[in-house]
Structures are given as C-alpha cells and as structure tokens.
C-alpha cells in the first residue's frame, strides 16, 4: 500500500444528539467546524492544535484523531511511517456538541484520503467510527451531515440520513460536563409510559425537522434523560426550561451542558459567561477541503 504526497485537509461539523426524545438515535450536523490537515512523513509524529482543546488534548499517539487514523490504516493493511497533524478546532470539548465524534470521523476521513487507492467504503468507515465512539448517533451526523437516524442491528451500525433546514441557536456554558458523568445519572429502568411517550415524540420530531417546524415544541419533549441529568447541569436545565416555558423548542444538546434552541434572535437570553452561536444544519458532513 502507498500513500499520497502532500497534505490533505478535512472539515468536520459539530453535531447535536438526542434532540430531546431521540435518545442515542437522532443526530443533527451543525455549521460549526474543526479543520484538520494531515501529511505523511518519513518518520515521527508531529501534532499542532489551535483553538478549542489546544491546552488539554494530548500531542502523542493517544490523540483521538491519531487513534482513529491508525485504526483506519490498520483495517486498510498498513500504517505510514510518520504523520504530521494540524488541527484548527472550533467545536468546544465536553459541551455536548460532538467534539469526540468529529475527531473520530476526521481521523477516518483523513486516513482514507491519504491512501493512494481505495480506502474504506462508507459502511465500513461508519462502522469503525461507531465502534470507536461507542454509539452511532453523533458520528452518523458528523460523517453524513443533515439529520441522521442511527441504530444497531446486532453489532452492525446503520444510518438513515435526511435533509433538514431548521435554524439553531446554541448556548454554551464555560464549564464542561463529562459524558460518563451525565450517563451515570440515568436510571437503569424507566416506566412504560415514559418510554411510550418518547417513542411518539421522537417519531414526531423527525417530521418536525423535515418540513413541519411548527411541531418542534411538542416534538422535543423528553422523559428519558434530561431531567435525570439536571443535577449535573442545573443552569443549563433551568435555561432550557425557561425557553420552553416561553414557547421556544429547546433541548440539552447530547449529554450537555450546551442548550440547543430551534430559533434565532435569542441573544438576550444568554447567561453571563456563556457563548452563543447561531447555526444552520450542515448538509455535507465530513469532507476533504479542495484548495
């Protein structure tokens, strides 16, 4: 196997999973991006990170993008002797906007692009991304863009992608919350009534996001995870609840603590010390940037 000469740049979108009732199934790609450039070297590993995570991520083989690249190269049959990696990150870490999924998808996409010949096909790349992330919802949105419905058939990751054109505002707190901590607050069982309610709202949410935005407030109601996680992100939960009380469809993005609202013009609701981004749905997903 051989590798191409010269650098390759991949742009990968942020993503919001769950979207209220679609727990571990629904994902939405957002127009906030990490740009990663990789180049094969004769030896060694060089990593440079600018932007989000620059002061905290490892600069060695444990870097998530490198791990994903190596996993893809291993499936293809050979790792290069050396790599140079340059990351310009805009997706905040530990905020429920899919930073780890973006890193995994970027790594797999870069590995494919650096191979001189056929890389992993779409199904194999998605399966690898889901295996590395541990669940398919965020990686599906990051890889394919748009609104994604992801599920497992046995161990096989599956995805259905749909277009969506909703407008989004995200409120990002200054402090992170780990996904492991947020998941640890969930109960082992839920009532049949709550499960049934969420199933209906998740189905309604797909319709709302693909052409019936007037249904978004009702469609984003959730009984499975957000209230259980409130103690870990009380300010986020209070903001979400306040927005919903005013008729604005709002959810906790992924495992939190970012709050996502399907509306614009909400700058006056921004808590002190938080960041706000008005975003669109990214319809392209991870892709090689042609310069």
Residue 145 counted as an annotated binding residue: no
| Domains of the chain with CATH codes | 8-162+281-288 (3.30.230.10), 167-280 (3.30.70.890)
State pTM to two decimals. 0.96
pLDDT at 181: 79
Compute the distance between CA of residue 150 and CA of residue 135 in angstroms, rounded to an integer. 9
pLDDT at 266: 98
Number of residues written out for the chain: 291
pLDDT at 6: 83
Residue 99 counted as an annotated binding residue: yes
Residue 97 counted as an annotated binding residue: yes
Compute the distance between CA of residue 85 and CA of residue 261 in angstroms, rounded to an integer. 34
Residue 265 counted as an annotated binding residue: no
Predicted confidence band of residue 217 (pLDDT cuts 50, 70, 90): very high
Residue 102 counted as an annotated binding residue: yes
pLDDT beyond 90 at 5: no
| Average pLDDT across the chain, whole number | 96
Residue 195 counted as an annotated binding residue: no
SS3 at position 261: strand
pLDDT beyond 80 at 291: no
Predicted confidence band of residue 183 (pLDDT cuts 50, 70, 90): confident
Residue 96 counted as an annotated binding residue: yes
pLDDT beyond 90 at 216: yes
In sign, the C-alpha dihedral spanning 185, 160, 38, 78 is positive
pLDDT at 184: 85
Residue 261 counted as an annotated binding residue: no
Residues 6+ apart with CB under 8 A from 106: 10, 12, 34, 36, 65, 68, 286
Least confident of 42-46, 54-58, 194-198: 54-58
Residue-wise pLDDT tens digits, 48-82: 999 998 988 999 999 999 999 999 999 999 999 99
Residue 95 counted as an annotated binding residue: yes
Angle at 262 between CA 52 and CA 91, to 5 degrees: 10
Residues 6+ apart with CB under 8 A from 263: 167, 169, 248, 249
- % of the chain at pLDDT higher than 70: 100
């Amino acid at each position: 196997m051989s590798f191409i000469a010269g650098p390759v740049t991949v742009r990968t979108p942020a993503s919001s999973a769950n979207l209220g009732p679609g727990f571990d199934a629904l994902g939405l790609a957002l127009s906030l991006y990490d740009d990663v450039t990789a180049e094969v070297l004769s030896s060694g590993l060089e990593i440079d990170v600018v932007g989000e995570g620059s002061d905290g991520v490892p600069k060695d083989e444990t870097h998530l993008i490198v791990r994903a690249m190596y996993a893809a190269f291993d499936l293809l049959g050979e790792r290069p002797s050396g790599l140079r990696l340059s990351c310009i990150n805009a997706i905040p870490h530990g905020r429920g906007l899919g930073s780890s999924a973006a890193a995994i998808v970027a790594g797999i996409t870069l590995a494919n692009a650096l191979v001189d010949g056929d890389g992993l096909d779409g199904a194999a790349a998605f399966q690898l991304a889901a295996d590395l992330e541990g669940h398919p919802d965020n990686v599906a949105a990051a890889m394919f863009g748009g609104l994604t419905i992801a599920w497992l058939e046995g161990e096989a990751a599956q995805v259905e992608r749909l277009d969506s054109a909703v407008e989004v505002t995200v409120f990002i707190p200054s402090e992170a919350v780990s996904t492991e901590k947020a998941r640890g607050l969930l109960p082992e069982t839920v009532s049949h009534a709550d499960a049934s309610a969420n199933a209906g709202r998740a189905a309604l949410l797909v319709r709302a996001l693909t052409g019936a935005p007037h249904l978004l407030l009702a469609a984003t109601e959730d009984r499975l995870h957000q209230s259980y996680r409130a103690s870990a992100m009380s300010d986020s939960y209070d903001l979400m609840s306040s927005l919903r009380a005013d008729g604005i469809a709002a959810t906790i993005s992924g495992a939190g603590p970012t709050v996502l609202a399907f509306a614009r013009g909400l700058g006056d609701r921004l808590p002190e010390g938080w960041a706000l981004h008005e975003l669109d749905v990214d319809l392209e997903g991870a892709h090689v940037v042609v310069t």
